[in-house]
Amino acid sequence: MEVKDLSIDEIKDLFLKQDAKIQEIEKQLKNHLPEDKMSMIVFSNDFDKAIAAFIIASGAATMGMEVHMFFTFWATSILRDPKRKVKGKKITEKMFEIMLPNGSEELSLSKMNMMGVGTKMMKQIMKNQNVASLEELIMLVREMDIKIHICDMSMSLMGLRKEELLFGDICEVCGIAAYLSYARKSKISLFI
């Protein structure tokens, strides 16, 4: 049947059906479009990489983006509060506690660390040039409502407990599936 054989009412009905299909397709597409979010996996506990992660996160938050940082493996030590100690750890958990940096102040540069001299030099240069310290950047997280997630498997492997964390009160301990539910809707996803 050709369009010329249809009545006006039948043509209107065809257009309405096509319009409904187009609107349904648009709705499905909108459900799959990324939102104004940034998701970041922080894997490294290198001083310079930690600074980059927090600068990028705070920059995105300043631009109005919802920011999710997922700390896993070595990066979990960035969030350790050196003032908080937990008793009753197993021997392997105690070993990790001794071997890993006890918070952000003990991190080392990824390159040119020179037994700690490079890190101290970098911190001094940052101070001289009025660049926020890593500790200041970390504290901005709370003020900027950046979402902090920490990998439950990594915490378990490294013997880290929630009560040892800087942000234990606002930090979500979760698995990768929970993090990926945020990341799949993000315009920007990073691995640092």
User: Would you mind telling me the total number of residues written for the chain in this entry?
Assistant: 192
Q: Is the pLDDT of residue 3 over 70?
A: no
Which candidate, 170, 132, 112, places its Cα nearest to that of 51? 132
pLDDT at site 127: 94
Q: Are residues 29 and 109 in the same domain?
A: no
The two structure tokens encoding residue 86: 């937990």
Q: Are residues 19 and 44 in the same domain?
A: no
Could you list the residue range(s) of the whole structural domain that residue 21 is in? 1-33
Q: Are residues 52 and 136 in the same domain?
A: yes
Q: Are residues 79 and 122 in the same domain?
A: yes
Q: Residue 28 — pLDDT band, cuts 50, 70, 90? A: confident
pLDDT at site 25: 81
Q: Is the pLDDT of residue 1 over 60?
A: no
The two structure tokens encoding residue 63: 């631009």
What's the whole-number mean pLDDT along residues 155-172?
A: 87
What's the whole-number mean pLDDT along residues 174-179?
A: 94
d(CA 104, CA 181): 28
Amino acid code (one letter) for 52 = A
pLDDT (tens digit per residue) in 103-145: 899 999 999 888 889 999 999 999 999 999 999 999 988 889 9
Amino acid code (one letter) for 56 = I
Task: Give me the CATH number covering residue 158.
Answer: 3.40.1260.10
pLDDT at site 15: 81
Which candidate, 88, 90, 93, 49, places its Cα nearest to that of 71? 49
pLDDT at site 68: 96
Report how many domains make up the chain: 2
The two structure tokens encoding residue 182: 């945020």
Which candidate, 60, 52, 45, places its Cα nearest to that of 137? 52
Cα-based angle 77, 53, 75 (whole degrees, multiple of 5): 20
Q: Are residues 29 and 49 in the same domain?
A: no
Q: Are residues 121 and 175 in the same domain?
A: yes
d(CA 149, CA 133): 22
Whether the Cβ atoms of residue 179 and residue 68 lie closer than 8 Å to each other: yes
Q: Are residues 10 and 98 in the same domain?
A: no
The model's pTM is 0.81
Q: Are residues 11 and 48 in the same domain?
A: no
Q: Are residues 39 and 27 in the same domain?
A: no
3-state secondary structure of 29: helix
Q: Are residues 60 and 144 in the same domain?
A: yes
d(CA 177, CA 159): 21
The residue ranking higher by pLDDT, 6 or 43, is 43
Q: Are residues 73 and 133 in the same domain?
A: yes
Q: Are residues 22 and 78 in the same domain?
A: no
Q: Is the pLDDT of residue 184 over 80?
A: yes
Q: Residue 52 — pLDDT band, cuts 50, 70, 90? A: very high
